[in-house]
Amino acid sequence: MTSFISGKVVVITGASSGIGEATAKLLARRGAKVVLGARRQDKLDRIVAQIKAADGEAVSQSLDVTVQAENDAIVQLALDTFGGLDAVFLNAGLMPNSPLSALKTDEWHRMVEVNVTGVLNGIAAVLPTFIEQKSGHAIATSSVAGLKAYPGGAVYGGTKWFLRDFMEVLRMESASEGTNIRTATIYPAAINTELLQTISDQRTAKGAQSLYERYGIAPDRVADVVAYALDLPPDTTVNEFTIGPANQPW
């Protein structure tokens, strides 16, 4: 059976833990060459070492997705190290949920910087290469909060609703322009990652922790979906995936 993952060069943001780490390891096992970015270089170094110990190919670089130059630099690392770029998985994100009445405005703006501006920066970094080669695959992590509203998640949900429109327009424009850039937006429900650690509002944090303890599943499940998207034939795209625990009513 033909594998469309083997040999692909994939940049992954938010790669130091959770969904990003699980995806990096899975894709490397499937023969992809992964380029990992996140703010915590020590964790990236550990993951790269583990991938290489299992005979995979990986490099990493410290990345703050809110800085355009750092997004450009990790794309250049992929080109310099592996000679190309086939896909980007825009996975970096923050979820410091709270009621609007709590007025945690610094957290609002930080979510917009990471969840929205970080995606814009990532796409801006890869588009020149994708357009020139007339191929590329952009995958982004949204959330079920990008499909329905939840109390406490007004700003977070807003950033994730943005992704739904942005990624779909990218797909439509590419199809019209003949640049063959495919997109996939993933909407996870309760996945056991570090997201809850960013919630400073104690009441919101307690509720989220209870929900995730009851329903949460492993980030490997999302990694499987990313691999599925990347393994589709070049003439096919599945542009949206909603994924979560089978027993969670969402």
Catalogue the active-site residues: 156
Closest by Cα among 195, 77, 71 to 141: 195
User: Judging by DSSP bridges, how do beta strands 87-90 and 57-62 pair with one another?
Assistant: unpaired
Show the 3-state SS of the chain. Answer: CCCCCCCCEEEEECCCCHHHHHHHHHHHHCCCEEEEEECCHHHHHHHHHHHHHCCCEEEEEECCCCCHHHHHHHHHHHHHHHCCCCEEEECCCCCCCCCHHHCCHHHHHHHHHHHHHHHHHHHHHHHHHHHHHCCEEEEEECCHHHCCCCCCCHHHHHHHHHHHHHHHHHHHHHHHHCCCEEEEEEEECCECCCHHHHCCCHHHHHHHHHHHHHHCECCHHHHHHHHHHHCCCCCCCCCEEEECCCCCCC
